[in-house]
Amino acid sequence: MKFLTIALLVLLSVSASLAGNCFQTTGYHTSFTATGFNSILPSTNGVPISFYEAGTINVDFAQQQMAVTFDILTTDSQVLGQLYAFGANQTMYVVNIDENGSTCTKLPLNVPIPTSFPNVTADLGPINIGKFQTEVLEIVENGSQQKVLYDLQNCALVSSYMLNEPSQPGVTTVNFLNFENSPAPIALPSICTNPSMSIKSNNRHISKSSVITGPKSIQQLLRPFF
């Protein structure tokens, strides 16, 4: 759960700003990679953490639903899982995948599901990522600051830099891949609809191969880039 919280904070706080008509969306879905060095995120209780994360996020502001997949690498662990959150019945489901299999745990909803994108606090003007033009939008929220590279032409998040307080330097950078400015349908996987869901799956082969070769895994996501 410790790492799940990290994942969510990165995702939620990064789900940042839009401009003009781009704001009118009812949600969004995207893949992402995130890298943090000495990142201090609200849930880490002031403790800096360094990590790499790859995953997907799908948020429906209007229906108050959210689905997240995450694969987090730190110096001493790799954590792979999924989260499904539903505002209507105040329930969330956490799928944990490890070498022994997958489990799904049903819990009371205790993560915020965003109702909109955060407000832009400043437009810092254009910058090119490569030669591709984006607008730098600043979002200051609850004392945390981020600068988002935003594609105004296509209503798309491109990249984000989240900065710690200057007294404790640290930064988290996020790239958004295949961003879509609308939510996708959300359905629970069968492991969470099965009555025995909180019991470890005994299908070692399937779960192990999903850890190693799952389409959202770090190994797979790194391959095209490095």
Nearest distance, CB of residue 192 and ligand NAG, angstroms: 8
Distance separating alpha carbons of residues 67 and 187, to the nearest angstrom = 9
Nearest distance, CB of residue 173 and ligand NAG, angstroms: 18
Asked if residues 161 and 146 have their Cβ atoms less than 8 Å apart, the reply is: yes
Residue 141 lies near ligand NAG (rule: CB under 6 A)? yes
Asked if residues 162 and 146 have their Cβ atoms less than 8 Å apart, the reply is: yes
Q: Which residues contact 223 (CB under 8 A, 6 or more apart)?
A: none
Tell me the number of residues near ligand NAG by CB under 6 A. Answer: 17
Residue 110 lies near ligand NAG (rule: CB under 6 A)? no
Among 24, 100, 105, 121, binds ligand NAG (CB under 6 A): 100
**Strand ranges for the chain from DSSP E:** 27-39, 49-60, 65-74, 77-86, 91-98, 101-108, 122-129, 132-141, 144-151, 156-163, 171-180
Buried b (16+ CB within 10 A) or exposed e, 35-53: bbeebbbebeeeeebebbb
Nearest distance, CB of residue 127 and ligand NAG, angstroms: 24
Closest CA to 60 of 41, 42, 84: 84
Residue 98 lies near ligand NAG (rule: CB under 6 A)? yes
Nearest distance, CB of residue 130 and ligand NAG, angstroms: 30
Among 20, 21, 45, 99, binds ligand NAG (CB under 6 A): 99
Nearest distance, CB of residue 10 and ligand NAG, angstroms: 12
Among 32, 51, 61, 86, binds ligand NAG (CB under 6 A): 86
Stretch of 17-25, 116-124, 154-162, 211-219 lying at the interface with ligand NAG (CB under 6 A)? 116-124
Cα distance between the two ends of the chain: 30
Note the residues at the interface with ligand NAG (CB under 6 A).
Answer: 12-13, 42, 86, 88-89, 91, 98-100, 112, 116, 118-119, 141-142, 188
